[in-house]
Amino acid sequence: MNRPVKYLVTGASSGLGGSVLATLYRNVSDPSQIAAASSRLETGQKLQQDYPGIQFRRLDYNDPKSLVESLAGVERFFFVSSPEVNTEKRNKQHERVVKACVEAKVGHVYYSSLAFGGYGSESKASVQQAHLVTEKLLAESGLPYTSIREGVYIDAFPVFVFWYPNTTTIYLSGDGPVAFASRDELGEATAQLMLRDPEGLNLKNNIALLTGPRTYKLTDVINCCL
């Protein structure tokens, strides 16, 4: 039987989730009020070594039973979006998570969405569609939630331009302006939202938009590296 916790962080061994966990750990006086979640037990052991005093919960988006058990007694839940590339499978995973949150009576869900389209829901970008589906599931669930639309990671820009250490030619699919943001700073800002009273957040459509202060073209980023 899991002990109640104030904060549960999924994706805690990833870049974004790791930054969320680290920020919570620095700001919460009682680390036992924080739990990290992973589908792998060995990951949990490593996280508990790195962050003494936190709890660990095994949570698997493909295992409904583990979801309900892990979410029991959770006040504020950071729901990191699945890395699954198949949109249909990803939507199913997220549906399981939302249903488990309802069954476990989670106090407040913080979902890591994407900042495409700003505060609107009209984005045609294929990568945004699964996020819009999940936001709709959360809105219809009756759960208190915040959709945190995270900006595009600046440290991931090589992926967008197919640029790796042995690359000699760079192909740009487009060169529109992007409000890049630091993954570490996005994680810190997400954790700061979780630390505040959710009832005091004045958010439009339950959306927190986290992006960089200005836009850059991919050519700007590449020129800085040359």
Domain ranges of the chain: 5-153+180-212
Q: How many CA atoms lie within 13 A of 174 on its CB side?
A: 3
Measured torsion, CA atoms of residues 116, 22, 201, 72, in degrees rounded to the nearest 10: 100
pLDDT digits (tens, 9 = 90+) for 162-212: 666 665 555 555 667 777 888 999 999 999 999 999 988 888 789 999 987
60: left (phi > 0), else alpha (psi -120 to 50), else beta? beta
* pLDDT in single tens digits along all 226 residues of the chain: 688 999 999 999 998 999 999 999 999 999 999 999 999 999 999 999 999 999 999 999 999 999 999 999 999 999 999 989 888 999 999 999 999 999 999 999 999 998 887 888 888 777 788 899 999 999 999 999 999 999 887 776 666 666 666 655 555 556 677 778 889 999 999 999 999 999 888 887 899 999 877 777 777 777 776 6
Within 8 A by CB and 6+ apart from 106, the residues are 71, 74, 75, 77, 143
Assigned token pair, 154? 């600046």
Of the options 3.40.50.10490, 3.40.50.300, 3.40.30.10, 3.40.50.720, the CATH number for the domain spanning 5-153+180-212: 3.40.50.720
Give pLDDT, residue 161: 60
The single residue listed with the structure tokens 């700061």 is 192
